[in-house]
Amino acid sequence: MSELSLFTLPDVGEGLTEAEIVSWKVRLGDTVAVNDVIVEIETAKSIVELPSPYAGMVAQLMVAEGDTVEVGTPIIAIGSDAPAAPAAPTAAPAGPDPEAQDMKPLVGSGPKADAVKRRPRAGSGTAVVAHAVPAAAPPAAGPAPAAASAPAQVPASNITGGGTAAKASRVLAKPPVRKAAKDLGIDLADVSPTGPRGEVTKKDLLSHQDQRTAGRDGTGAFWAPAAGSGLAGDPRVERIKVKGVRKATAKAMVESAFSAPHVSIFVDVDASRTMEFVKRLKASRDFEGIKVSPLLILAKAVIWAAARNPSVNATWTGDEIIVKHFMNLGIAAATPRGLMVPNIKDAQDLSLKELAIALNELATTARAGKTQPADMAGGSLTVTNIGALGIDTGTPIINPGEVAIVAFGTIKQKPWVVDGEVVPRWVTTLGGSFDHRVVDGDLSARFMADVAAIMEEPALLLD
């Protein structure tokens, strides 16, 4: 009889409560070693690869790709013998598995006391699990449990199906069909099954969707779209599930916009000397192989200006204002997964060359979708480079936990008055948004003027 070690979804971020299983890196029957990557998950902040804390053979993949599960949920079973046959669909256990709760998670993480439970499937009144681990019998009073450091072991024979009544009440369908139904907003209980075991097939699902689009349900009765939408069932409409980074971004932006009183100011800047300075840096042997752009000078200008005006680098808590005498400089990055704001830790201690390298690494990691939650935590002030998209300026929303953000517009040649003459110069517009609970108009103006001064004359950084 094989002994199985169950790996539960850990908290890989600060206060993570759930994550989506993006892709399994192992299959049933694969042999894994400790620290082998076994699964890729998507949290509200980033995509993370999870290593195995156990060595052995993959006996069960307990969660399907595309499913969102809570921290503490068992997701994979690893044993030393041949893999166990997939369990029949069962009803979720009435309560948490005592053994699963005692299992050792990854270092630095751990399930909440009531976290070993599964999220109900869409359209179902009962929480169900494709390959669930049934609750063990309540432990009898007696000796204390084994030491917490020992990994949980569950006999393979214990991973079995549930009661007959639960099976009968469940709609049978394969995981890809369930995911498709969830994406389409279809309750599988409303679909007429034609599969050999009474399961709903993909063909059944598509047929049901066609009937909805045509305005009739499976009985021929008229199907009414959602009241007032005018779009329900329209094949020209695409519905995108709000989850992951988009869900987290929406929540954060709403909270920021409607809790912090924003005030925005703008300043036009002659950035001609910044452009000349960037050109010299690109030709310098010290910066060989390092990508250099005007964003580097702006980042250095923001760090410099914040040191002169410390209250823009702060957090409002309601009871107090926390002024930070360090700079974790956030850089808003558009990625394939949505907007992210990783930050450069202790940016005030970096030389110009070190800052350039840090900016390059930040951008490369973000574009690859490999930014980790820790890289986005603890930011103190943010820069958003909207000029990279050819935009002149904008009114950015402050990143939650901060009180200031600077928008960097595109740099382009414009007519500019110099010594009474109109000449072509490289001009940009800087936009700043500030939390008026902390930053008054005078302070925001002085801060933006200091940033503009560096962009107009980068040599001031040498003072």
Q: What stretches of 136-208 adopt beta strand conformation (E)?
A: 154-155
Selection from 328, 343, 341 nearest residue 380 by Cα: 328
How far is Cα 254 from Cα 400, in angstroms, rounded to an integer? 10
Q: Enter the DSSP assignment of 185.
A: T
Using alpha carbons, list the distances in angstroms from residue 205 to 3, 164, 181, 291, 382.
39, 25, 7, 51, 46
Q: Where are the beta strands (DSSP E) in 363-441?
A: 381-384, 404-408, 412-418, 421-435
Active site residue 131: no
Tell me which H or E stretch contains 100: helix 98-101
Rounded (10°) CA dihedral 363, 260, 387, 309? -80
Catalytic: which of 131, 262, 325, 436?
Answer: 436
Query: At 314, is the secondary structure helix, strand, or coil?
Result: strand
Helices (H) and strands (E) in the chain, counts: 10, 21
The residues that bridge with 41 in the sheet, in sequence order, are 21, 48
Helix, strand and coil in the chain, % to nearest 5: 30, 25, 45
Catalytic residues: 436
